[in-house]
Amino acid sequence: MKIQVVLLATLLLAGCGTVQTVVRGDEVASKSLKEYKSYCGAVPRIYSGVTYDFCMLYAPLQKGRDAQVHDSAPAIVLIDAVISGALDTLLLPYTIYRQQADGSIIITE
């Protein structure tokens, strides 16, 4: 049971919106949202993890091999949004500074 919990936590943190937008480079988040053809044009750095999760949630459904994974994603994305919300709140002083210094993460075509 403990192994399953650790595995689930690892998987959630690996795909965590906050990790994607705060820890990794801007180009990683931008590339990921472009691959899913998200409707978002930019992600503000303040509460960026939650915004990233909702951009992924409202991306159009994928056809082909990824369709099955994307169909089960809403439940995972909503769980991740809660975790990202908590992490984003803890990182708020840093993300406010980054928003002022660097602006939003732009998702280019």
Q: What is the pLDDT of residue 93?
A: 96
Q: Is the pLDDT of residue 22 over 70?
A: yes
Q: What is the pLDDT of residue 74?
A: 74
Q: What is the pLDDT of residue 45?
A: 95
Residue with more model confidence, 106 or 4: 106
Token digits for 109? 């075509």
For the chain, what is the radius of gyration of the CA atoms? 14
Query: What does pTM read for this prediction?
Result: 0.77
Cα 86 from Cα 91, distance rounded (Å): 9
Domain ranges of the chain: 2-106
Cα 3 from Cα 11, distance rounded (Å): 12
* Cα distance from N-terminal residue to C-terminal residue, the chain: 43
Q: What is the pLDDT of residue 37?
A: 86
Q: Is the pLDDT of residue 13 over 80?
A: no
What does the pLDDT look like over 70-89, one tens digit per residue?
Answer: 555 677 778 888 888 999 99
Could you tell me which of 90, 80, 34 has the C-alpha nearest to residue 54?
Answer: 80
